[in-house]
Amino acid sequence: MEIYFVRHGIAVERVNGLDNPERMLTKIGRKKTEKVASRLKELELQFDLVLTSPYTRAQQTAQIFIEAGLSQNLQICNQLSPEGNFIRWWEDWFESAQLANNSRLALVGHEPDLGRWAEILVWGESKDRIVLKKAGMIGVEVPITGSPVGRGQMFWLTPPRLLL
């Protein structure tokens, strides 16, 4: 099955260097993300499920994907937030989710986590070697049985400008 890690679009700046779960997409961030989503639709990409970090900027990004018709299913997943441990969660969740062999999932979240998780799926460990821009995407194919750690194949890594 295919997992697409999607970084949220451009959001308003931090205040005093502090992150805030409520930070929203800027007007430009929203527009760019909409263009990416509509290009993905043109490419006939369809997700069985979009899981998103609960942070506002991620939820807004996921919502744009839903509105573009890329999926009919959206769920919030706390393990995709900056404090989450997606990989551990995935191993449990996956057992019960019973996804089909050809499923496609979009996971909307944050850096540096998304790039690290992709590296862990593909190479078994993270070295922070993936550059994932805002509204950028990483595509990894993983087997649907057993742990996906170190068993993925990376087939997609796009800065958003490739999809505008």
Nearer to a copy of itself, 10 or 121 (CB): 121
CA–CA distance, 134 with 11 (Å, rounded to integer): 9
CA–CA distance, 70 with 81 (Å, rounded to integer): 22
Decide: is 158 part of the binding site for a copy of itself (CB under 8 A): yes
Stretch near a copy of itself under the rule CB under 8 A, chosen from 15-23, 82-90, 97-105, 128-136 = 128-136
CA–CA distance, 138 with 156 (Å, rounded to integer): 5
CA–CA distance, 147 with 121 (Å, rounded to integer): 9
Strand-strand pairing, 49-52 and 104-109: parallel
Stretch near a copy of itself under the rule CB under 8 A, chosen from 15-23, 69-77, 100-108, 152-160 = 152-160
Tokens of 110: 């944050």
Decide: is 43 part of the binding site for a copy of itself (CB under 8 A): yes
CA–CA distance, 59 with 65 (Å, rounded to integer): 10
Decide: is 163 part of the binding site for a copy of itself (CB under 8 A): yes
Decide: is 112 part of the binding site for a copy of itself (CB under 8 A): no
* Residue from 127, 134, 135, 145 in contact with a copy of itself (CB under 8 A): 127
Binding site for a copy of itself (CB under 8 A): 43, 122-123, 127, 129-131, 133, 141, 152-159, 161-163
